[in-house]
Amino acid sequence: MLARRYPVLVEPEELLSMLNRGDHSDGGDNGVVLIDVRKEEDYMQGHIPRAVSLPLARVLESMDPRQLHMLFKRLGVDDSKHVIVYDDTFGALAARVAWALEYIGHEKVSLLSITYGRWSSLGYGIERGAGRVDQQHEGYTLADVSADHSILATYDYIQAILEGIKQLQQGKGTSTSTGKRVLLDVRERLNYLDHHIPYAVNIPWKAFTGEERILKPIEEIDALLSYRRISRDDEVIVYCGSVGTLSGLSYYALRLAGYSNVRLYARSLKEWRSLNLPVEGFKDAHYWDLSAE
C-alpha cells in the first residue's frame, strides 16, 4: 500500500476554503465532492452546504467494485475529485464509506475531522432540503474499475494467518501475531473477552476517538499502539462485530498515525460466526479483566 497523498482528516476551515475556491490549489481541476452518509431524512433536515446524500446502507448493499463505482459516479465522483465524507456518528459510518472508495481505487478521499452535529454547534452554515447531485458521467469507465485487495481482509485470508500462527507455535502456547501480522479486535472489552478470532489483540475503538474530533491526535494514537507493541512494520488486520464501521474508523486511526499496511475485515465477526469459524474467549473473565490484556 502506498503512502497517502491526501490527508486522512480535513478540518472544517479547510473544507470551507476548498468549497469556496473550488480547490484548484494543485493546478488541476480537482474539485470536491462532499458526501453525507446519514439517513436521507436526516440529510433533508439539515446538511453541510454542497453536500450530496449517500446513506451508508446503500454502500453496504454490495462489495462488487463495479456496483460501488456506479454508486459513487452518480454523485459526481471521478478520478479528479477529492471526496470528503462525514456523518453524525463519531465518524464510523463515514469511515466505512471512505474505505469503500479506497477499495475501488479512489485515493483522493478524506474524513471530515468533526461530526455534523459538531459542525452545526460551532455555527457553521447548513442547508436544508434535497441539496444537489452533480450527475457527472465523465471520468473513469467501468473498464478502469478494479478492487484494491491490499486493504481488504477476507475470512480465508485470516484463516491462512491463523494456520501460520499454529505452525509458528509448534504447540508452545499462544501468540498475538505472526511475524508482521496482527489481528486487531476493536469491539468493547467485554465483548472481546466473551469471544474473538483466535490470537486477536483488543483495542476498543473508543480508545482512538477524541472528545470533539472523530480521532485523537497522532501522538496519542502512536502511544496507544506502541504500548500494545504494534509497530509500523506490522500488517494490521482490523475487525469489529458487524459491517466494518467501528473497525473502519480504527483503520483510519492507524492510517492517520502513519501505518500504511492496514487491512479491514469488512464483514467482520458477523460473517466469521455465520461460517462457524473458530473463536476463543475467556469464560472465567471478571470485571477486573476489562483493562487487562
pTM: 0.89
Say if 1 falls within a structural domain: no
Domain boundary among 123, 148, 173: 148
Say if 4 falls within a structural domain: no
Residues 58 and 70 in one domain: yes
Grid coordinates representing 189 are 472489552
* Contact partners, residue 245, CB within 8 Å, separation at least 6: 56, 89, 92, 93, 95, 96
For 156-215, write each residue's pLDDT tens digit.
999 999 998 888 775 544 444 444 799 999 999 999 999 999 999 999 999 999 999 999
Say if 230 falls within a structural domain: yes
Residues 39 and 170 in one domain: no
Instruction: Look at the chain and report how many structural domains it folds into.
Output: 2
Say if 164 falls within a structural domain: yes
Say if 243 falls within a structural domain: yes
CATH code: domain of residue 274: 3.40.250.10
Domain boundary among 148, 174, 209: 148
Residues 173 and 269 in one domain: yes
* Cβ contact 97:13 at 8 Å: no
Containing domain of residue 220, as a range? 152-291
Mean pLDDT of 132-158: 74
| Statement: residue 260 has pLDDT above 80 | yes
Residues 122 and 214 in one domain: no
| Percent of the chain surpassing pLDDT 70 | 84
Domain boundary among 97, 120, 148: 148
Quote the pLDDT of residue 139.
52
Which is more confident, 100 or 180?
100
Residues 135 and 158 in one domain: no
Residues 133 and 175 in one domain: no
Residues 135 and 180 in one domain: no
Which is more confident, 202 or 292?
202
Look at 132-136, 167-171, 223-227, 240-244 and tell me which has the smallest mean pLDDT: 132-136
Say if 158 falls within a structural domain: yes
| Statement: residue 242 has pLDDT above 60 | yes
The secondary structure of the chain, three-state, reads CCCCCCCCEECHHHHHHHHHHCCCCCCCCCCEEEEECCCHHHHHHCECCCCEECCHHHHCCCCCHHHHHHHHHCCCCCCCCEEEEECCCCCHHHHHHHHHHHHCCCCCEEEECCCHHHHHHCCCCCECCCCCCCCCCCCCCHHHCCCCHHHECCHHHHHHHHHHHHHHHCCCCCCCEECCEEEEECCCHHHHHHCECCCCEECCHHHHCCCCCCCCCHHHHHHHHHHCCCCCCCEEEEECCCCCHHHHHHHHHHHHCCCCCEEECCCHHHHHHHCCCCCECCCCCCHHHHHCC
Residues 64 and 113 in one domain: yes
For 14-73, write each residue's pLDDT tens digit.
999 998 876 544 433 458 999 999 999 999 999 999 999 999 999 999 999 999 999 999
* Cβ contact 236:259 at 8 Å: yes
Say if 234 falls within a structural domain: yes
Residues 108 and 190 in one domain: no
Residues 168 and 283 in one domain: yes
Residues 135 and 187 in one domain: no
Residues 123 and 184 in one domain: no
Quote the pLDDT of residue 291.
46
Say if 169 falls within a structural domain: yes
